Structure 1
Amino acid sequence: MRKRWLSTAVAAVSFFLLAFFAAGCGSAGQGKLVAGKLNVVTSFYPLYFLAQSIGGADANVINMIPAGVEPHDWTPKSRDLDTASKAQLFLYNGAGLEGWVDDFLQGLPGDSKLVTVEASQGITLLPGNPEDGETDRSHVDPHTWVSPKSMLIMAKTVADRFAQADPTHQAVYEANYGALKEKLEALDREYATRLAAVKKKDIVTSHQAFGYLARDYGLRQVAIMGLSPDAEPKARDLLRISKFVKANGIKTIFFEELVSDEIAKTLAREAKVSTTVLNPLEGLTPKQASKGEDYFSLMRANLQNLVQALQ
């Protein structure tokens, strides 16, 4: 029985990897610079959301990664560099998320006036867990934005840099930031109140993307994959997590939408539990984008799924 399940798990790993790399082969983000506005280039969706919310009508925001593309292994194209070099602000998360960023910035022409903003600055970062065979333990968990508490810090960082880059519209940016801050604080209160009331605190996730959320709201994350969703789980890790699920009465295993859910579903079948979405908000799917979903709607959907799973 165990050998048969392990064989199925290994096969699922292979399928997962193929599906991931196929999904990652999207085109670069589309967008044009607009004269007379603050031109802002963002590295992925959460920063695009912040920039649009704070910039409003006075900013032109271009997100480099298109809908449906997982950002961990995405790399910019020459046209992205050309666009960014002519913009005023470039927002990236930092904390190791964009492994390409140093080379990207070094490729800027000498006359570029682009100002770069590392949005995760000021957040107390969590250490990452190296994969088997790795010896470097200095890397950190980059998934800061998944916690509303961290997103509040990131929003303030972005707002300050908008005001510095375009002081003419400083009052507008500050007003927009104030409205966004109120919404993020309300979301933070919802998470704190509802998750304080759940009976269980353990969440089993396909991707180690919820460390900040777990830290800030009293949960414990057990991840199948590592910090990057293309990290290949070992059969012994799947067996260990299966035992954890059974021993701790876990009822739900969470998966995400931008990568294959086969590993999570294989584990759930073996452990006889259900699966549901816990979105790391690394990007929107084309369907979500067309429906007008945003950070707030997806984070509230996450909260609802967490509460239902942890009763």
Structure 2
Amino acid sequence: MKRRRILTGLTLAISLLLAGCGGGQKSAVAEDKINITTSFYPLYDFAVKVGGAHVNVINLVPAGVEPHDWTPKGRDIKNISDSQLFLYQGAGFEGWVDDFLKSLKDSKVKPVVASTGVELLKAGEETHDHDHGKDEHGKDEHSHTGEAGKDTDPHAWLSPKNAKKMSENIKNALVEADPAHKSDYEANYSAYAAKLDALDKQYKDSLSGLPKKEIAVSHQAFAYLCHDYGLTQMAIMGLSPDAEPTAQDMKKMREYIGEHGIKYIFFEELVSDKLAKTLAKDAKVETLVLNPLEGLTEEQVKQGKDYISVMEENLKNLTKALQ
């Protein structure tokens, strides 16, 4: 996260002047719908599912692009400014947002922090449900709900429970922005929430009886998933997938793999798999995909994949690795 590039107010001002001159975002606002701009893929999918026929959703980060270091171009900023709602994760995920929001003038857009009300974890920690969320001193290991500090882990969407809360926040924002279609938004949300509840149950039923509880991952993105289902992650890199691991980090990972009898190292599709495959070869184990759902590849978009289908694929690979 520390390496994330932050747009300065000056850069944003220049970008606003250049609005419409690029950005690679093909979508545009629609005249006859509620326009929603989202900062990255999961929020796009949740907004599409909850908004249904009444919304036009523009996702800022293009397919195949990893969002941690992405920053908006002129057309992206214009799309946000021309929308009714701007959905972003918060919790420190989008490094450019604070400066952008300060630069907003004379825009009708309402910013919505999707992670509001989610119990945020500290970076580098996952407390399991059976630990009751307490450390050895009996104190709550979570940051306070809705308070995101520099040490907050923003990857909250990888918990289906949190995805449900985030979808509810989107529903509430849509009801406020477009009360005429309140009943439709509530019905869409209820249907989608039921699917997320089913996904949560599927994870619990599938993972609870497996012999292993430790996973080796390339990117420290899975604390919320580990928290919900009693797992522990060991990551090659930190919260940002482009962080550079040291020789000591690699040594610790090899030791972890050996100590816990791990047979697979998980990598993700939107960043280089070189380190994961090098370590896997060195440790004589194999690799599998565990998708942090920060974005989809162009091929996944063509195949009609979405949050739930990718999370189901993640579950299959977790089940295989934890045998």
Question: Does the 8 Å CA contact 1:28/1:76 hold for their aligned counterparts?
Answer: no
Paired AA for residue 89 in structure 1 = L
C-alpha distance in structure 2 between counterparts of 1:111 and 1:176, whole Å: 32
Q: Residue by residue, what CA displacement relative to the aligned partner does 1:10-35 show, whole Å, maximum 9, x if unpaired?
A: xxxxxxxxxxxxxxxx9533211111
1:62 aligned to which of 58, 63, 76:
58
Q: TM-score, normalised by structure 1?
A: 0.88
Runs of 4+ in 1 over 6 A off after TM superposition: none
Counterpart residue number, 2:6: none
Secondary structure of the residue aligned to 1:120 is coil
1:75 aligned to which of 40, 48, 71:
71
Paired AA for residue 57 in structure 2 = V
Correspondence list, 1:258-269, <5 A: 258-269=270-281
C-alpha distance in structure 2 between counterparts of 1:205 and 1:79, whole Å: 35
Q: 1:129: how far off?
A: 4.0
C-alpha distance in structure 1 between counterparts of 2:202 and 2:252, whole Å: 33
Question: Does the 8 Å CA contact 1:53/1:180 hold for their aligned counterparts?
Answer: yes
Q: 1:113: how far off?
A: 1.2
Question: Does the 8 Å CA contact 2:124/2:220 hold for their aligned counterparts?
Answer: no
* Cα RMSD after superposing both structures: 1.4
C-alpha distance in structure 1 between counterparts of 2:24 and 2:112, whole Å: 21
Counterpart residue number, 1:21: none
Secondary structure of the residue aligned to 1:229 is coil
2:109 aligned to which of 111, 114, 117:
114
Q: TM-score, normalised by structure 2?
A: 0.84
Unaligned residue ranges in structure 2 (runs of 5+) = 1-21, 126-148
Counterpart residue number, 1:95: 91
Secondary structure of the residue aligned to 2:122 is coil
C-alpha distance in structure 2 between counterparts of 1:80 and 1:260, whole Å: 26
Question: Does the 8 Å CA contact 1:81/1:107 hold for their aligned counterparts?
Answer: no
Q: 1:287: how far off?
A: 0.4
Q: 1:138 to 1:80 in 2, by over 3 A?
A: closer
2:208 aligned to which of 191, 196, 202:
196
Q: How many matched pairs?
A: 279
2:182 aligned to which of 163, 170, 175:
170
1:43 equivalenced with 2:29 (yes/no): no
C-alpha distance in structure 2 between counterparts of 1:234 and 1:207, whole Å: 14
Q: 1:36: how far off?
A: 2.0
Question: Does the 8 Å CA contact 1:127/1:138 hold for their aligned counterparts?
Answer: no
Q: Residue by residue, what CA displacement relative to the aligned partner does 1:74-110 show, whole Å, maximum 9, x if unpaired?
A: 00012111111111000000010000001111222x2
C-alpha distance in structure 2 between counterparts of 1:129 and 1:55, whole Å: 34
Q: 1:236: how far off?
A: 0.8
Q: 1:301: how far off?
A: 0.4
Higher relative contact order (CA 8 A, sep 6+): 1
Q: 1:111: how far off?
A: 1.7
Secondary structure of the residue aligned to 2:112 is strand
Question: Does the 8 Å CA contact 2:266/2:287 hold for their aligned counterparts?
Answer: yes
Question: Does the 8 Å CA contact 1:91/1:119 hold for their aligned counterparts?
Answer: yes
The structure carrying a bigger helix percent of its residues is 1
Over the matched positions of the two proteins, sequence identity in percent amounts to 56
Paired AA for residue 242 in structure 2 = D
Question: Does the 8 Å CA contact 2:218/2:235 hold for their aligned counterparts?
Answer: yes
